[in-house]
Structure 1
Amino acid sequence: MTADAPASSTTTDSVLGGSLTLRQQRTGHRVGHDALLLAAFAPADRRRMVDLGAGVGSCGLAFLTRVPEAKGVLVEIAPELADLARDNAALNGLSARVEVVTGDVTRLGRPSGPERPQAGAADLVLTNPPFNDMAQHRISPDEARARAHMADGALLDEWVRAADRCLAARGMLCLIHRPQALAAILAALDGRFGAVEILPVHPRDDRPAVRLLVRAVKGRRTPPALLPGLILADADGTPTAAADAVLRQGEGLAQP
């Protein structure tokens, strides 16, 4: 165990129907559906993955659990979360296929940035970037939670640029974000990525989307496509079969 925090400050939780076990902080940002949906949206034919803003490793480790041939680099700026990501890789028998880097996403692929991941070496980048505009939302007093959820107006573009630097030609970027950010997402991708596929995620079939899953290919110019949406629950709150397949059975989502 690399994390110094006492056991009482963390919990150990099972996700994906028990196929993935995660230690995470008891308070602050907690693993939710977003990371698991993002991991499921990534194509299973990718072998060199980078997870930007990995937190405790939930998304990247979920992808590696589903795709046993793949290897990955998890990048996380908070040392305490990076330590938990290393613990979680070991806890799930994935240490041989995972490297955890403590570093700033915006410095990746630059001469002054971390040596790993190497520029142009990945064929898949996963990212669940900070969602909320600091000017529009109250900032959590918990520093780690605030870091996970808050962003200034330029951060999305910076993270897409970092993904571009990490990816080889025809590499794929997969991200999850709020629907309100659609224009900003397309603007950040423009000129770098194409063949954009957008999958809306709805809490119920009569509710607006609460998340957008987006994937795009480096260097392509094909126009965007809107995929059929994912409905998480029926009217009575029961998870739909499609949601259960992804969130409990660990299946891929809308694979190309």
Structure 2
Amino acid sequence: MEQPTVTHDDFLGGQLRLTQPRHGFRAGIDAVLLAAACPAKAGESVLELGCGVGTALLCVGRRVEGLDLTGIEVQADYAALARANAATNGIDATIVTADLTALPADLRQRQFHHVIMNPPYYERASSTPAQDSGRDRALAGAQMSDWIGMGARRLRPKGSLTLIQRITRLPEVLAAATGQIGSISVLPLAARAGRAPDLFLMRGIKGGRAAFRLLAPRVLHHGDRHQQTADYAPEIEMVLRHGGALHWDSIPADM
């Protein structure tokens, strides 16, 4: 019997059920962590560049009610899944099929309170076939400066830009952000205590003037080695299983 081309996966402990391709680019905890780091409040607007099947955008929408949600996705099949996922989960979101370097005129005139993004992790020149999924190929024409530049232009004054990326691309991200956003803070993400971070979250403010901040690494898992499937640190467990927000500056004492 031929396998279905899509899977139906639970996120946020079952608060979201998302359809995504069985093969190629598939959303994981990165998108959930990105959503948890977005400081959106009820009544505000959120734009996701490269929204895929809508995972991060819909996670934000599930955590915070009353948001104006918009996602941009270049691949029509992913955009269609994002629309279907929004409808299935009862979340009002506008999904636009467009290249982030050539947005429709109406979107180019809008400004948002928050922009979130998860650019392809691998540079086109250094990608291997296993890393370079169909979606990465579709997005690979845009440089990091395109992603951050477009995000900054779509922000209203004092709006926030939040992204997740591999730690090896931190210099490139900071260079692209120079002159575009300010008050930049970087939160490294380490799999376990004592290990070098593999990923980082970055948040910046349009027009912000605060000094750059490098925060202490956030540890995702308990212990120095894998023990069981759900060995996440308490805060990360709250984010992944219960849809909680990621505390940006420090972990509360009761976690």
| TM-score when normalising by structure 2 | 0.88
**CA distance change for structure 1 residues 116 and 35 in 2, over 3 Å: closer, same or farther?**
farther
In the aligned structure 2, how far is the partner of 1:189 from the partner of 1:124? Answer: 15
Q: 1:100 is matched with which residue? A: 95
Q: 1:30 is matched with which residue? A: 26
2:37 to 41, 56, 65: 41
Q: Does 1:131 align with 2:121?
A: yes
Q: 1:68 is matched with which residue? A: 65
In the aligned structure 2, how far is the partner of 1:107 from the partner of 1:178? Answer: 26
* Offset, 1:142: 7.1
Q: Does 1:251 align with 2:247?
A: no
Q: 1:207 is matched with which residue? A: 195
CA contact (8 A) 1:120 1:169 kept: no
What letter corresponds to residue 20 of structure 1 in structure 2?
Answer: L
Q: 2:179 is matched with which residue? A: 191
Q: 2:51 is matched with which residue? A: 54
Using the TM superposition, name which of 34-43 and 226-235 deviates more: 226-235
Q: 1:171 is matched with which residue? A: 159
In the aligned structure 1, how far is the partner of 2:3 from the partner of 2:16? Answer: 19
In the aligned structure 1, how far is the partner of 2:80 from the partner of 2:162? Answer: 24
Identity %: 36
CA contact (8 A) 1:42 1:255 kept: no
CA contact (8 A) 2:40 2:114 kept: no
CA contact (8 A) 1:230 1:242 kept: no
Q: 2:136 is matched with which residue? A: 146
1:106-153 alpha-carbon deviations (Å, 9 max, x no partner): 123xxxxx13434342110000011211222313497524337x746x
What letter corresponds to residue 103 of structure 1 in structure 2?
Answer: A
What letter corresponds to residue 219 of structure 1 in structure 2?
Answer: G
* Offset, 1:44: 3.1
CA contact (8 A) 2:40 2:46 kept: no
* Offset, 1:174: 0.4
* Offset, 1:70: 0.9
* Offset, 1:229: 2.1
What letter corresponds to residue 220 of structure 1 in structure 2?
Answer: G
**CA distance change for structure 1 residues 136 and 143 in 2, over 3 Å: closer, same or farther?**
closer
What letter corresponds to residue 77 of structure 1 in structure 2?
Answer: V
Q: What SS is found at the alignment partner of 2:137?
A: helix
In the aligned structure 2, how far is the partner of 1:145 from the partner of 1:105? Answer: 13
In the aligned structure 2, how far is the partner of 1:80 from the partner of 1:41? Answer: 27
1:216 to 200, 204, 207: 204
CA contact (8 A) 1:54 1:60 kept: yes
Q: 2:78 is matched with which residue? A: 81
Unaligned residue ranges in structure 1 (runs of 5+): 1-5, 109-113
Using the TM superposition, name which of 61-70 and 154-163 deviates more: 154-163
**CA distance change for structure 1 residues 103 and 181 in 2, over 3 Å: closer, same or farther?**
same
| TM-score when normalising by structure 1 | 0.88
CA contact (8 A) 2:114 2:160 kept: yes
> In angstroms, what is the RMSD of aligned CA positions?
2.1
CA contact (8 A) 2:36 2:246 kept: yes
What letter corresponds to residue 95 of structure 2 in structure 1?
Answer: V
Q: What SS is found at the alignment partner of 1:14?
A: strand
CA contact (8 A) 2:25 2:133 kept: no
1:77-133 alpha-carbon deviations (Å, 9 max, x no partner): 000000000000001001xx310000001123xxxxx13434342110000011211
Q: What SS is found at the alignment partner of 1:124?
A: strand
